[in-house]
Amino acid sequence: MKVCVVGAGAIGATIGARLAASGHEVSLVARGAHLAAIRAHGLRFVDHVAGQSGIYHLVASADPGDLGRQDCVFLTLKAHQLPTVLAACGSLLGPQTVVVPAINGLPWWYFYASGGQYDGTRLDALDPHGSMMALLSCARILGCVVHLAAELRAPGEVHCTAGRRLVLGEPDNSDSERLRALAAQVQAAGFVVERTRDIRREIWIKLIGNLSFNPIAALTGYRMDQICADEELLGVIRAILAEGAIVAARYGVEVGITPDERIAIARQLGAARISMLQDLENRRSLELAPIVGAVMELAERAGVAVPVTHTVHALVQARARALDLPAD
């Protein structure tokens, strides 16, 4: 495949490096010192899961217009960056190009082809002006849920520290030919790939973990293993997990796992410094809108009380203001 990864940070570079290693033609959209380092020295990718490392000399640019039409585009940006970047991505799209948003939180396309009373609903927390729906046809999208941990440790140097599982699914829950083809290609690149006929359930399983663990990591500075070893914090985590599952159920999704089962999934990430902690430490904006804000908006619309989620959200917002972090 000809593949472009738009947003070649920790997760994006992991996807790009593994696809390049398996023989695909990979290009990257990056910026700043990271882009300069990739251009000058290549992308150094250290895979702690596989016990391997390598340097990949990939075409990289800050402008998607430099890279031509692609078979597949992975979007691995922060949610607040998406509207600006989507406007520049038209040149990457041919008639059959598949777009895979591998992003945190509830995706802006969540209610596309969902069926039922909420089909086509737009959330203010995700796409307040409807611009993303206008910039990219949702018919191109394959849903993706990422279960791995990675860090950008220096410009041009990315470490995958845990996990290799990706869940792929069509927004309409069909088992399409393009889904089967892409899943096979990604599986061959060293990922553990699951095709699902219920992508929204998989989104919620990941989302309630992000909803609970990420804000706690930002508030405490704890790695995942430290959070999982602190029983008092796990009490807060369990409460938020339960609130998130109730919201999901109001929108027709039964998460189907207990809080402790979701905590067990989180334990598999070991000593990972999860994304919101990395962003806080690097003084980047925190992805509160897609991870927490969207759930609170859904809860309010459905008349569901989520008091612990609200409290932790207020605390993280205050922490971000105290550090003068950019708004998400």
Q: Which residues belong to the active site? A: 206
Tokens for 45? 């990718």
Dump the DSSP string for 140-186: GB-EEEEEEEEEEEETTEEEEEEEEEEEEE-TT----HHHHHHHHHH
Region of residue 116 (phi > 0: left; psi between -120 and 50: alpha; otherwise: beta): left
Dump the DSSP string for 194-231: EE-S-HHHHHHHHHHHHHHHHHHHHHH---HHHHHT-H
Q: Give the number of other Cβ atoms within 10 Å of residue 235's Cβ.
A: 11
Contact 106/207 with Cβ under 8 angstroms? yes
What is the C-alpha to C-alpha distance for residues 140 and 96, in angstroms, rounded to an integer? 8
Q: Which residues contact 215 (CB under 8 A, 6 or more apart)?
A: 276, 288, 291, 292, 312, 313, 315, 316
Helices (H) and strands (E) counted in the chain, each on its own, are 13, 10
Q: How far is CA 61 from CA 26, 32, 92, 102, 150, in A?
A: 12, 10, 13, 20, 22
